Amino acid sequence: MGRPTSRARADTARKAILIGLGLLWLAPVYLMLANAAKTNEQYGAASVWQPGFGGLVENVTTAWGRGDISEGVLSTALYSLVSPLLAVLVGAAAGFAIVALRLRHGFFWFVVIFSSTVFPIQMILMPLFLAYVQVEIFDTRAGMILIYMVISVPFSAFVMRNFFSGIARQVFEAAVVDGASTWRIFWRIYLPMSSSALVAVFILQATFIWNDLLLGLTLTQSAETRPVMTALSALQSTYGGSTMPTVLTGGLLVSIPTVALFLLTQRAFTRGLSLGQF
């Protein structure tokens, strides 16, 4: 047998690096699973790398019943579905107006929309809190849907504008010649053509909303409207008083929906990323 070629050695090295990076990425997941399955006595006596046994079912029951996680999951599911859906539609409409309709000073309006991402959201938390109290949408689901939609629009507009820029101008002109209205062109031609990009943006924004903690802490206080990450943080607070295996189990529970979302939409998400517009 001949000596391995340089290309074969490079492939082997590449595979070894990828396997190493994969194991490194999976290490926190293993630690969460290993310690979530421990009882309180096992967690204090055994190493964090040693897997536990016998405590997972009890920890799941405890975590689900404490800290209002069950209600937080329902509220966050609503926010993570409605807000990014509205955001991608608004972003697509903005991109369509700028690119296809050739809105006057379109680039200026695009910069205005996208400039909201320049400043960290921590800078507007206090004015946002005061405004929510004054207009009486503090601690309401409508208020949370609104803020999540607003902060998701700039990225959606950015991606959809870039995507629509790659659609030939003749498509729009041909539809106009055929007598299609602007709304029909947008809804029946441009949106279906950009379905992969819409799905990719929706998944990214839904994941961001699901994992948000800061806005939930600032703009909610009741169990009915509190996002799940805020409810999870309550497990570790002085008033929550939960043990670490219970907290880790709660983190495991709230991570399942986002993992399931990526698995179910993996093909569409990959196709959206392959468009090269991100």
For residue 17, is it within any domain?
Answer: no
For residue 168, is it within any domain?
Answer: yes
**Tally of CB atoms within 10 A around 225:** 22
CATH of residue 95's domain is 1.10.3720.10
Enclosing domain of residue 250: 61-273
Give backbone dihedrals phi and psi of 175, rounded to 5 degrees, phi first: -65, -40
Give every CB contact of residue 221 below 8 A, 6+ residues apart in sequence: 139
Q: What is the pTM of this model?
A: 0.83
**Tally of CB atoms within 10 A around 157:** 26
- More confident position, 132 or 63: 132
For residue 31, is it within any domain?
Answer: no
pLDDT digit string (tens) for 242-263? 678 888 888 888 888 888 887 8
For residue 30, is it within any domain?
Answer: no
User: Which range among 27-41, 158-172, 218-232 shows the weakest confidence by mean pLDDT?
Assistant: 27-41
- Of 84, 41, 48, 40, residue with least CA distance to 206: 84
For residue 123, is it within any domain?
Answer: yes
pLDDT surpassing 60 at residue 3: no
Give pLDDT, residue 272. 64
Structural domains of the chain, count? 1
- More confident position, 53 or 96: 96
User: Which range among 85-99, 107-121, 186-200, 215-229 shows the weakest confidence by mean pLDDT?
Assistant: 107-121
CA distance 258 to 260: 5
Helices (H), 37-123: 40-45, 56-65, 69-99, 106-114
For residue 268, is it within any domain?
Answer: yes
- Of 147, 217, 219, residue with least CA distance to 232: 217
For residue 26, is it within any domain?
Answer: no
For residue 106, is it within any domain?
Answer: yes
User: Which range among 157-161, 179-183, 237-241 shows the weakest confidence by mean pLDDT?
Assistant: 237-241
* Residue position matching structure tokens 């041909």: 174
CA distance 83 to 152: 8
- Burial of residue 139 (number of CB atoms within 10 Å: 0-12, 13-18, 19+): middle
Query: What region, left, alpha or beta, does residue 67 occupy, with left being phi > 0 and alpha being psi -120 to 50 degrees?
Result: left
pLDDT digit string (tens) for 70-102? 788 889 999 999 999 999 999 999 999 988 888
What mean pLDDT comes out for the span 207-232? Answer: 89
